[in-house]
């Protein structure tokens, strides 16, 4: 590094820039999965070598989430982001009850997306006052649950106004609502866009004056706005731009509100690196941006609690999926490690959960993660479909029957986002270590 910063001679400088050019021509590699230590060739999860953890779990395949990493991620967010920002956990990323229980203690609130998730959040001990419920097709029974529990409902349709007015009257309880706005902008560079243009989510910003009038006449307890532009974004500047636009929109909409805005959810969308060439999100500009918004809100929305909601970013990097090699086959020179796990437990690692082009998740052989021999191999599952692919011709530690294949970045959108019943193989287990 020093030579690059302070070249001793023109020759050294030329050699160094040639090296930089050569490095930039190398194929992109996965970001280092350095959140997990390796000890004597074994990946260490929650303080335990992987082979021993597999014995403790009692079966493969399984998901393991590292409690220490979850705490670390929450603490580093708190340390970086301004104190005026509340952090919510969007539990659809990982609804495992033990995880929700831990997050309920670490975060300021929980975002749920169904009556089923609401039950898990309440069981986990989350404060109902700090739970919010979003989703485009809330059933009447779910709205009743939410009013009875006293949680904040993110309204996504005119239909919900009338239903909630009736439910509130029947139960003799207030219906606490925020309006989920479908804005007139998109989150640029997002893996999955969930706002802007025609969408099933939220209510179009153009329809807002009418909706706010209806909420007022129906006597609902209006608290504020919810904006969620998209998911899996690794570009800090796009996230900052979406936050600024969301904030400005909320300030504009607040002028049409009879009651003060007491709640403003600015969304999330923070991504994690999955694929070659991707790097971890730089939080520093986002922290500065949020500090600017907090400062302006002091005068423009003085009663509003400012919230961001994160799912994947909080839990994704803390989790791994582990499957055991049951066969090693060679087909026309290509090595296939056939495991007892696959897309039925981990749809997103197979590339079939919203990805346009299939790319490999970071994968290793967790009981041979040291410096042993390596080879190119594909990791597949037991299903009778070529889609059941966990790693396509990757450079991996050389593995044999009995070894433990690990898929990193698996703490979010894993078991609950996969078709476990497909082909009737055994379910996977999830542990928090």
Ligand X SMILES: *Cc1c(COP(=O)(O)O)cnc(C)c1O
Report the interface residues with ligand X, using CB under 6 A.
90, 92-93, 111, 134, 228, 231-232, 268-269, 309-313, 412
Nearest distance, CB of residue 192 and ligand X, angstroms: 7
Show the tokens assigned to 52: 């021993």
Nearest distance, CB of residue 72 and ligand X, angstroms: 18
Closer residue to ligand X in complex, CB, 231/367: 231
Nearest distance, CB of residue 69 and ligand X, angstroms: 16
| Cα 305 to Cα 423: distance, rounded to the nearest angstrom | 47
Closer residue to ligand X in complex, CB, 366/411: 411
Show the tokens assigned to 301: 């929305």
| Cα 11 to Cα 329: distance, rounded to the nearest angstrom | 50
| Cα 317 to Cα 274: distance, rounded to the nearest angstrom | 9
Closer residue to ligand X in complex, CB, 70/90: 90
Torsion angles phi and psi, residue 109, rounded to 5: -170, 170
Closer residue to ligand X in complex, CB, 44/146: 146
CA-wise closest residue to 206 among 249, 243, 153, 239: 249
| Cα 340 to Cα 380: distance, rounded to the nearest angstrom | 9
Closer residue to ligand X in complex, CB, 312/345: 312
Residue whose entry in the numeric block shows the structure tokens 């590339």: 351
Residue with the closest Cβ to ligand X? 311
Nearest distance, CB of residue 82 and ligand X, angstroms: 19
| Cα 190 to Cα 228: distance, rounded to the nearest angstrom | 12
Nearest distance, CB of residue 409 and ligand X, angstroms: 12
Distances (CA, A) of 145 to 173, 213, 409: 12, 25, 34
| Cα 167 to Cα 148: distance, rounded to the nearest angstrom | 9
Closer residue to ligand X in complex, CB, 286/310: 310
Closer residue to ligand X in complex, CB, 42/111: 111
Cis peptide before 256 (omega within 30 of 0): no
Nearest distance, CB of residue 175 and ligand X, angstroms: 19
Nearest distance, CB of residue 210 and ligand X, angstroms: 23
């Amino acid at each position: 590094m020093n030579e690059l910063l302070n070249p001793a001679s023109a020759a050294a400088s030329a050699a160094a820039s040639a090296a930089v050019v050569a490095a930039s021509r190398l194929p992109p590699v996965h970001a280092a999965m350095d959140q997990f230590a390796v000890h004597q060739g074994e990946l260490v999860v929650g303080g335990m070598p992987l082979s021993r953890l597999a014995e403790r779990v009692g079966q493969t395949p399984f998901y393991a989430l590292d409690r220490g990493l979850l705490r670390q991620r929450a603490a580093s967010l708190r340390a970086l982001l301004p104190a005026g920002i509340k952090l919510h956990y969007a539990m659809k990323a990982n609804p495992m009850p033990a995880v929700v229980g831990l997050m309920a203690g670490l975060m300021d609130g929980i975002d749920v997306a169904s009556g089923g998730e609401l039950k898990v959040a309440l069981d986990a001990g989350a404060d109902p006052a700090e739970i919010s419920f979003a989703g485009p097709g809330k059933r009447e029974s779910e709205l009743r649950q939410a009013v009875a529990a006293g949680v904040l409902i993110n309204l996504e349709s005119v239909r919900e106004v009338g239903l909630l007015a009736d439910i509130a009257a029947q139960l003799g309880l207030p219906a606490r609502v925020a309006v989920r706005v479908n804005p007139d902008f998109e989150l640029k560079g997002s893996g999955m866009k969930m706002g802007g243009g025609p969408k099933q989510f939220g209510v179009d910003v153009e329809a807002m004056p009418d909706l706010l009038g209806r909420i007022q006449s129906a006597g609902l307890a209006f608290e504020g706005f919810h904006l969620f532009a998209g998911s899996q974004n690794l570009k800090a500047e796009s996230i900052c731009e979406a936050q600024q636009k969301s904030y400005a929109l909320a300030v504009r909409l607040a002028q049409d509100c009879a009651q003060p805005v007491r709640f403003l959810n600015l969304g999330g969308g923070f991504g994690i690196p999955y694929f070659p060439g991707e790097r971890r999100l730089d939080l520093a500009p986002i922290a500065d941006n949020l500090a600017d918004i907090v400062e302006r809100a002091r005068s423009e929305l003085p009663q509003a609690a400012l919230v961001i909601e994160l799912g994947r970013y909080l839990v994704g990097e803390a989790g791994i999926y582990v499957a055991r090699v049951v066969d090693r086959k060679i087909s026309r020179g290509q090595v296939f490690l056939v495991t007892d796990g696959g897309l039925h437990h981990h749809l997103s690692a197979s590339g079939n959960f919203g990805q346009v082009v299939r790319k490999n998740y970071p994968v290793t052989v967790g009981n041979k993660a040291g410096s042993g021999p390596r080879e190119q191999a594909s990791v597949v599952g037991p299903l009778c479909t070529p889609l059941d692919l966990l790693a396509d011709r990757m450079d991996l530690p050389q593995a044999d029957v009995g070894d433990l294949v690990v898929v990193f970045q698996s703490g979010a959108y894993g078991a609950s986002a996969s078709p476990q019943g497909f082909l009737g193989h055994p379910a996977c287990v999830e542990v928090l270590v």
